Amino acid sequence: MNKVYKVVWNASIGAWVATSELAKSKTKTKSKISNLTAAVLVGAISFSPAAFAASGIGGGTGSGTSISGTCNEGMASTANGKDVAIGCGAKTQDSTSTNIANRQNPYNNSTGAFAGTMKQGGSIALGTGATTEKGLGTAIGSYATTTDIAGVAIGTGALSKGNTALSIGRQSAATGDFSQAIGNVAAATGKGSLAIGHSATAEGYRSIAIGSPDIENAGSVAGQAGASYQPNMATKATGKDSIAFGGGAVATQENSLAIGAFSASTGKKSVAIGTGAKANKDEAVVIGDQAEATFDGGVAIGKGARSEAENSIALGKDSKATQATGESFLTKQAAPTGVLSVGDVGAERRIQNVADGAVDSDAATVGQLKAARTHYVSVNDNGMQGGNYENDGAKGRNSIAVGVNTTSTGSESVAVGSSARSAGVGAVSVGSASETVGSGDVSIGRNASTRGAAGTAPGYSNQSIAIGDQTKAIGDQSVAIGADVIARGNSSVAIGGDDVDKIAQDAELSKTYTDITGGTLKAGRYPTTEANHGSTAVGTQAVGTGAFSSAFGMTSKATGDASAAFGVMSNASGKGAAAFGAVAQATGDGASAMGINSLASGTNSTAIGSGNKPGEGATATGNGAAAIGSNAKATGDSAAAVGKGAEASNENAAAIGGGAKATGKNAAAIGGGALADQENAVAVGQGAQSLVVGGVALGARSRVEAENSVALGQDAVATEATGNSFLTNRDASMSNGVISVGSAGKERRITNVEDGAADSDAVTVRQLKHVDARVKENAQNITNLDQKIDNTKTDLGNQIANTNKNLNDAKTDLGNQINNTKTELNSKIDNTKTELQNKGLNFAGNAGADVHRNLGDKLNIVGGADTATAEDKTSGENVITRTTADGIKIELLKDAKFDSITTGDSVLNNNGLTIKDGASITKDGINAGNKVITNVADGVNGKDAVNVDQLTKTKDGLDNKITDTNNKLDDAKKDLGNQITNTKDQLTNQITDTKTELNSKIDNTKTELQNKGLNFAGNAGADVHRNLGDKLNIVGGADAATAEDKTSGENVITRTTADGIKIELLKDAKFDSITTGDSVLNNNGLTIKDGASITKDGINAGNKVITNVADG
């Protein structure tokens, strides 16, 4: 063992550790270490705290590493076993566990033991009076102090007060969380702030202050010059995100920046760069020694530059920008909001290397001023003087005339060119013999004119424009541009020309035109581009002669009113027709053709699709027809063809898919190559064919060859039923078609079929097995039945003889009973009158018990309302009320329409019929759901479904013997019947006499009861009487012609009471709109005519006073 260390047992961690020979035991005996050498002390500091014993060392106290002498400040003390305190009065005070989890620094990624929670403090206090008050703190230096977690204070009196704050330097202070103060008496008080330098102060959030004050000229503390805090000359950043960089620099506002000794940025978002630079206003920018901006938004760049006007710039040394005054030269514009100055009075600067200006507000150069001088303006009359030689052609006020024989007679008009004439107010004519006659007209080009041709109606166009050789803009506000172009109608536009010679003479271009259009361009033909009223024609030889039409493209034509043609040689001749694409033709009224070589000739037809040659584009010739796709054809009225080569050639036919054809009336072919060529035929699937009336082929390559039949599934075939049905022998002609789910060699099994019940139901294999068992059983039963029939015949003979005797006795007794009955009936009729009167009537409402009224009593029907299903969930379109002899009958339409019908577990909707735990017929097919299939036609072929009727035929053969027996019983029954008939005739005569007497009394009673009738009463008005059989009208005050969709019963309910039926309205009623006088309340809010309104858009006082408003 050396003289410095030894091995001891550390009870706190349960292990042997190396420790100093001078370390104390578990007793806390005070000892001095004043004689330790510096080398031993350094060695002790360098070891991990875990290397020491649990007790203090060399006079310190606590469970960690504590080393100090005995002094007035007290001994060093530690609060945790992993703490370190060295020096008189040095202390670590936090004994709680402290989290030192990884802070995700990509350049220092803590792992292992350093990423968890330290179970004991982990603080370090080094120096006399050094103190760490929270875990992970580091205080180095006399009286250095950290008060929050992970704080660092280095230097005499340094203070780290914020979370993870760093303070380095004598009496430095980092008081904000995550702040850093580096330097003598530096202070970082803002959260996340940085202060570097003597007396540097960063007070703002995330602020930065870097720099030191004038130390040489500062006062001294205890003989140390400039050591104390310099408040007046310190570098300060007090605003949020502010930056002060340089000795004495100051940045006081949010986002302010000051760089340079004694620079100052005191405005929001201001910038001051340079010694003594000052940006004193918001958003000011100052760069340069002693530069200054004294107004918001001012810019001063250069030593001594000053910006003394708002939004102004002073550029250059000693430049000054002051407020602009007075109007601008020539243009007389008001003074601008700011100026740019590059000098000062008496110290102006020249701006060199300036590009020529372009827009009105650009600076002009000397070169531009030189170029602005007039040059080369001359008029050559070839020695022959003409009009305007004396400059007298400008006759109108403020007009201009330039050229031989040129005149401008309209005020403020302009005429330029030989024989140009401008007669309209403000008109412009430029070009030889050009002419404008209307106000605001413009003609540019040789013989361009806004005057109509000779012989046209009097009057000239106004505000029209004609540009081009021989071009004319005749209509008001018309525009004609090009050679030999005419804008004939008012508000028309014609742009193009009349000459296609160059294209026609170019072999390649001419061929391209022919390939596209099928036509040939011919040189020397000059049809004029022309536009009518409100129309537009753009393109060489384009024509827009229909009112409000549009033609765009070479040789395009829009001749129908409100028509549109777009594309070379396109044609829209129908009213409101539209043709889009080269050679597109829309000739029917309201027709639309889109695509090269498309054709829509039917009224309101639509053709969309291109073709390489005429006739190969989409074609819609039927009225209301639609063809979509290359070579698609819809020739029937209201037909639809969609897909390349699709064809719908009959009324209401639909063909969808490439090559699909629907040629029958109301036929539908859906799928590539599908065919439906008969009336009401349907073919769905690739290559499906429905070749007969009413046939349905569903599935790829399915085919129907029998009327009203169905082929269901891929490759299924439905052919004509042949031969009589099995067992029942029904003729095939009695079948209304067949349903096929396969074809010969490709049969399909129908699964999940319920046992049949009705004669036309399909039967199952289970039923066939059951029939076989019953046949065997019935054979034995027939033998037993023969014996029973013989016995029954003998017994029946004996019974008939006894019956004859009994009938004679009954005849005598019946006569006596009839006489007694007559007397009894007279008494009962009298009683019936009273009983009927008391019987009266019973009434029932939507709710409550039934109410009774005797005949003649009053029934009160009074006002009183509902709960109902939401209105959008109900509809009255299927209901009608009809009066009958018995009352009012409520009926439903036979052809009713519902979104969905649910009856128990059955639901019928747009998808089909679905029965819970039962069969379903939906768009996806038929699923018997293990239930009966009814109304199945007799099967004929081996693969056909059989029905119960056919099975019954088998059973009938076994029942023939039973039928023979029944015939024998019928004979005996006839003998007995003859005897009964004789007796009946005698009784009838007696009953007739009694009936006559009874009818008389009943008629009298009927009249009396009928006049008794009923009385009715309401909330107001006299009672109303009605005899039985009379009509009582119960009506409301609304117009009887009010549409059904304007009324609703959702707010009304009838309820029976002791007095009658009470009609009630909901207290929380719902209405679309309520009107009371000039006030209307509806879904949008409350509106008062000529008054205020409160709607979804807000409150409108309606120019009225709002009174009695409480203080806000």
Enclosing domain of residue 91: 1-103+116-160
Whole-number Å distance between alpha carbons of 931 and 915: 10
- DSSP, collapsed to helix, strand or coil, labels residue 259 as strand
Domain end call among 326, 359, 375? 326
| Domain contains 263 | yes
The CATH number covering residue 1105 comes to 2.20.70.140
What stretches in the chain show pLDDT beneath 50? 1-57, 100-105, 110-120, 221-225, 453-459, 845-847, 861-871, 873-876, 878-879, 881, 883-890, 892-894, 896, 898, 903-904, 906, 913, 958, 961, 965, 969, 972, 976
Q: What are phi and psi of 86, to 5 degrees?
A: -130, 120
pLDDT tens readout for residues 561-590:
989 899 888 899 999 999 998 889 999 999
- The amino acid at residue 478 is S
Q: Maximum distance among all alpha carbons in the chain?
A: 162
Residue 949: CB partners within 8 Å, gap ≥ 6? 728, 759, 760, 938
Residue 104: CB partners within 8 Å, gap ≥ 6? none
| Domain contains 975 | no
Are residues 287 and 148 part of one domain?
A: no
Of 577, 979, 1017, residue with least CA distance to 801: 979
Q: How many CB atoms neighbour CB 345 within 10 A? A: 8
| Domain contains 156 | yes
- DSSP, collapsed to helix, strand or coil, labels residue 1045 as helix
What's the length of the chain?
A: 1112
Are residues 154 and 272 part of one domain?
A: no
Are residues 269 and 134 part of one domain?
A: no
pLDDT of residue 608: 92
| Domain contains 59 | yes
- The amino acid at residue 873 is K
Whole-number Å distance between alpha carbons of 176 and 155: 18
Two tokens, residue 1110: 């409480």
Phi/psi-derived region of residue 74, left when phi > 0, alpha when psi is between -120 and 50, beta in every other case: left
Chain-centroid distance of CA 567 in Å reads: 36
Are residues 153 and 276 part of one domain?
A: no
Strands 159-160 and 739-740, by their bridges, are unpaired
| Domain contains 221 | no
pLDDT of residue 278: 95
Are residues 264 and 139 part of one domain?
A: no
| Domain contains 46 | yes
DSSP letter for 114, please. G
pLDDT of residue 719: 82
Are residues 261 and 148 part of one domain?
A: no
The number of domains in the chain is 3
Residue that has been written with the tokens 């796709």 in this structure: 629
pLDDT of residue 892: 45
The CATH number covering residue 288 comes to 2.150.10.10
Are residues 257 and 153 part of one domain?
A: no
| Domain contains 92 | yes
| Domain contains 307 | yes
Are residues 272 and 146 part of one domain?
A: no
Domain end call among 326, 341, 357? 326
Whole-number Å distance between alpha carbons of 59 and 87: 10
Q: What are phi and psi of 520, to 5 degrees?
A: -130, 130
pLDDT of residue 970: 59
Domain end call among 143, 160, 177? 160
User: 184 with 198: CB under 8 angstroms?
Assistant: yes
CA of 248: how far to CAs of 211, 213, 224, 237, 244, in Å? 7, 5, 20, 10, 9
Whole-number Å distance between alpha carbons of 80 and 66: 10
Whole-number Å distance between alpha carbons of 156 and 36: 24
Chain-centroid distance of CA 628 in Å reads: 29
Whole-number Å distance between alpha carbons of 199 and 173: 10
Are residues 143 and 261 part of one domain?
A: no
Whole-number Å distance between alpha carbons of 390 and 187: 89
Angle between helices 960-1012 and 765-839 (to 10 degrees): 20
Are residues 15 and 154 part of one domain?
A: yes
User: 913 with 904: CB under 8 angstroms?
Assistant: no
